[in-house]
Amino acid sequence: MNLLLINPNISASVTSLIEAEARRAALPDTVLATATAQSGVAYIETPGEAVVAAHEVFRILGECHDQYDGAVVAAFGDPGAVQAKEVFPIPVIGLTEAALASAFLLGGRFAIVGISERIGYWYEETVAALGMTRRYAGYHGLGQAFKDVGSVGVEARDILLRMCLQRVHEGADSIILAGAPLAGLAREIEAEVPVPLIDGVGSAVRMLESMVRAAHGPRKTGALSAPPAKPHQNLPAGLSRVIGRHP
């Protein structure tokens, strides 16, 4: 199967992290491709920035979704992922929903550790929107600046490890290491943490492979069926084929 990993951030270094961890998680016969946002921010930290990122996700999917069996929106907070399920005829999975699904199956309460304190407010809203608040044991993020978003997992490894251990002390039964910039860190520190660590990229790739193999048919009715045909203007060619089609 052919899968597309979309980095809605503009950071090419983060795309490299995403691709490396995805290849470790993927089945041997899965072919992976990546795409990086051409406009936006270095790392998405607020709902407003996520709106900008969602536009890039749609632009990228509009251009090339017909070349792939499924796509991962490789940013925590899943900008555009839910809406893409309605518009595009392939499975689309976000890192948050995949990581939370893993936490649900592992059982108990989960905590989230990430790269900034500010981002925690948005993550809390995302957890609530996905119906997992009752299992949520809280968020903790780095309270310091970092040199480069693509190397924060290496630069702040020991601090992030201590944060994970603190979440365990507070009662977390599993911990999600949030966001593409931390892709691969769970695998590197898992031996030092006494509860499961969840990597969003790995979770999303494995779940997307499962969905593609399940070969679910398209929705023909309901809220997530394809949008109604209607006149449109100034849409990129790829999007005009799936949004705002003429009656």
pLDDT score, position 35: 97
Report CA torsion sign: 12, 176, 159, 187: negative
Give the span between the Cα atoms of 62 and 80, in whole angstroms.
12
Collect all residues with Cβ–Cβ distance below 8 Å to 165 and sequence separation of at least 6: 192, 193
What is the CA angle 26-141-207, rounded to 5?
20
Q: Average pLDDT of each block of 10 consecutive residues along the chain (247 residues)? A: 97 93 96 96 90 95 95 95 93 96 96 89 91 94 75 84 95 93 91 96 97 90 85 86 69
DSSP secondary structure letter of residue 29: T
Whether 24 and 202 have beta carbons less than 8 Å apart is answered as yes
Give the span between the Cα atoms of 190 and 20, in whole angstroms.
18
Domains of the chain: residue spans and CATH: 2-94+203-240 (3.40.50.12500), 97-200 (3.40.50.12500)
pLDDT score, position 112: 96
pLDDT score, position 137: 94
Radius of gyration of the chain (CA): 18
Indicate the pTM of the whole model: 0.91
SS3 187: helix
Q: Which of 75, 4, 79 is nearest to 43 (CA)?
A: 75
pLDDT score, position 246: 53
